[in-house]
Amino acid sequence: MCSRKRNEEPRGVTRRGFLGTVGAGAVAAATLAPHPADGAAEITDPDAMVAVALDVNGRTRRLLVEPRWTLLHVLRDRLGLTATKVGCERGECGSCTVLVDDQPRYACMMLALEAQGHRITTLEGLLDGEKLGPTQQAFADEDAFQCGYCTPGQIVAAEGLLRANPAPSEAEIRLGMSGNLCRCGTYAHIGRAVRLAAELRKPGGEK
């Protein structure tokens, strides 16, 4: 075997050459990187409080919120409307369902700031004074709950369905309620409750 000559340059990139090249590139990038101009906007503090006005259950509620707060957090912990439940907090279970302009929405997936300018209805907003609303009454009459934790979201989802479609078919009920999970498995009772609520909501249908 013949050995490499002492003054012969090795083929390819050496470790020393690679590190030297990377170091030089980093210096060049730092030198050429644009710097913010004087007077450029600063990064917003995520903890800074912002004034909002929320239309909740027919009342305007004015308060300060952090931009990162969800509607769920504000409803429960700032406004005391605890019927809206904390579940998965990732838009899967439906326990936090509220109505936004009569459409069911997951409150955990909506920022409080996004809710400005929209009508928000929680379970508390379905009451008729001290009397249960027809959808609430139907769930009580049909015993459409076991542990009851998911029930507020189920009722609000049913209310949203019936506001959009007062006389849904069985298939439409299943589709409309599919975004709300019940770990106790009371789906048959929930289906009956939605059908009864449709009847109770008709003129003269209340008991």
Helix (H) or strand (E) holding 176: helix 170-176
Q: How far apart are CA 162 and CA 104, in angstroms?
A: 11
What is the pLDDT, as a whole number, of residue 29? 45
What is the pLDDT, as a whole number, of residue 204? 75
What domains appear along the chain, each with residue ranges and CATH number? 47-120 (3.10.20.30), 127-207 (1.10.150.120)
Q: How far apart are CA 19 and CA 149, in angstroms?
A: 60
What is the pLDDT, as a whole number, of residue 82? 97
**Residue 60: CA count within 13 A, CB half-sphere:** 6
Would strands 50-56 and 119-121 be described as parallel, antiparallel, or unpaired?
parallel
How is residue 128 written in tokens? Answer: 């008729």
What is the pLDDT, as a whole number, of residue 144? 97
Instruction: Let me know if 50 is exposed, middle or buried by CB neighbors in 10 A (0-12, 13-18, 19+).
Output: middle
120 pairs with which residues across the strands? 56, 100
What is the pLDDT, as a whole number, of residue 28? 47
State the greatest distance between any 2 C-alpha atoms of the chain, in Å, as a whole number.
Answer: 105
Of 104, 79, 78, the closest CA to residue 91 belongs to 104
The predicted model scores a pTM of 0.77
Q: How far apart are CA 156 and CA 147, in angstroms?
A: 17
Contact, 106 vs 91, CB < 8 A?
Answer: yes
Q: Digits of tens for pLDDT over the chain (207 positions)?
A: 444 444 444 455 554 554 455 455 544 444 444 555 555 555 666 678 999 999 999 999 999 999 999 999 999 999 999 999 999 999 999 999 999 999 999 999 999 999 999 999 999 999 999 999 999 999 999 999 999 999 999 999 999 999 999 999 999 999 999 999 999 999 999 999 999 999 999 987 765
Residues 6+ apart with CB under 8 A from 71: 98, 107, 108, 110, 111, 112, 114, 115, 120
